[in-house]
A = this chain, B = another copy of it.
Amino acid sequence: MQTLLEAIRPTTFIRSEKLSGYLGIDLTIATETFQHTGSFKFRAAYNVALNVENEHLIAASSGNFGQALAYSAKLLGKKCHVVMPETSAKVKVDAVSNYGAVADLIDVNSIGREERVAQLMEEFPDAYQASAYDDPLVIDGNSTLGDEIADYKEDFDFVVVPVGGAGLISGISKALCGKDDRAKLIGAEPLIANDAARSLRLGKIVRNEQEPQTIADGARTVSVGNYNWEIIREGVQAIVEVSEANIKQALCLYFQLANLKVEPTGALSLAAMLENHDSFGGKKVCVVVSGGNVDPAIFVQILAG
């Protein structure tokens, strides 16, 4: 059985003269696109699967956390159910199944995801209900990426991180706190899903009324988690709210100038450079790319403009 640090892959740091030159920013990309299962979520999921005593894990996720939990459960010989809408892309359902987990497909018009998870928890009372972000084990898992950024040789002015449920940025905040007092930690969130930015302004958790339909599907969360909030309210300097157009533009710039395939949510931190260039121009910035799993049809559509 591998420890978390044995199991994860180190993040991939990439520097692109073309992209830095184009933006006039001294940019370092920390990309999790080559992490196990293609996103940072493996750090969280493995840490959960490793540390809970339960032999069975249950979660609702149509995205990266489901794949990461399924693969972590496989590596650790545990059972896993992932509740997904039956309309999920086939590649995502197949990925969960291929990692040996049960993809529990639901008709979201008949039953909510949380409701179905509750049903499964009743059926399997010994299972652990895993949250994609609101769990100290998730935050600790994600903090390993913050450790890697702190250990990287550059003195960054800013570290910029995509925000959905705030699982990643809270982990990075925990890691950087005290270690790297120079770098300011900045979140990047879709403008049409700006609950975290509003929460930071109001000093309390604000919820979206419904799942916002941003193209950054990893940021379609209704609110940040409670554990995450207690960390980011202190550790995050600001959250840049980015337009859908800038998310798409950032994805294209990664592709054309840095040879990097990212998913829309992963492009949020670069989109913040476009959105708020005055703050970042001429600075040393680490942009975190959270993952690279995107439906090819959506990618082609964005690339074709």
Contact = CB atoms under 8 A, between A and B. Distances in A.
B259 A259 contact: no
A303 interface: yes
A202 interface: no
Interface stretch (A30-38, A80-88, A134-142, A234-242): A30-38
Interface residues on A, range: 20 to 34
Nearest to A22: B98
Nearest to A295: B256
A111 interface: no
Contact of A259 (B15, B16, B38, B256): B38
A1 interface: no
B256 A296 contact: yes
A36 B12 contact: no
Nearest to A291: B259
Interface residues of A, dominant DSSP: helix
A17 B34 contact: no
Given A34-B259, A259-B33, A300-B304, A71 B292 contact: no
A14 interface: yes
Interface string A89-107: 0010001001000000000
Nearest to A301: B300
B293 A259 contact: yes
Interface in A257-301: 258-261, 292-293, 296, 299-300
A21 interface: yes
Contacts of A34: 12, 14, 16, 258-260
A179 interface: no
A201 interface: no
A24 to B, nearest CB: 13
A217 B303 CA distance: 22
B261 A255 contact: yes
Nearest to A260: B261
Contacts of A296: 252, 255-256, 303
Interface string A63-91: 00000000100000000000000000001
A18 interface: yes
B300 A259 contact: no
Contacts of A21: 98
Given A296-B303, A300-B300, A91 B256 contact: yes
A16 B81 CA distance: 23
Contacts of A299: 303
Contacts of A37: 17
Contacts of A9: 15
Given A12-B12, A300-B300, A304-B300, A259 B17 contact: no
19 contacts: A12-B12, A12-B34, A16-B34, A17-B71, A18-B38, A18-B98, A33-B259, A34-B259, A38-B259, A91-B256, A252-B296, A256-B296, A259-B261, A259-B293, A260-B261, A261-B261, A300-B300, A300-B303, A300-B304
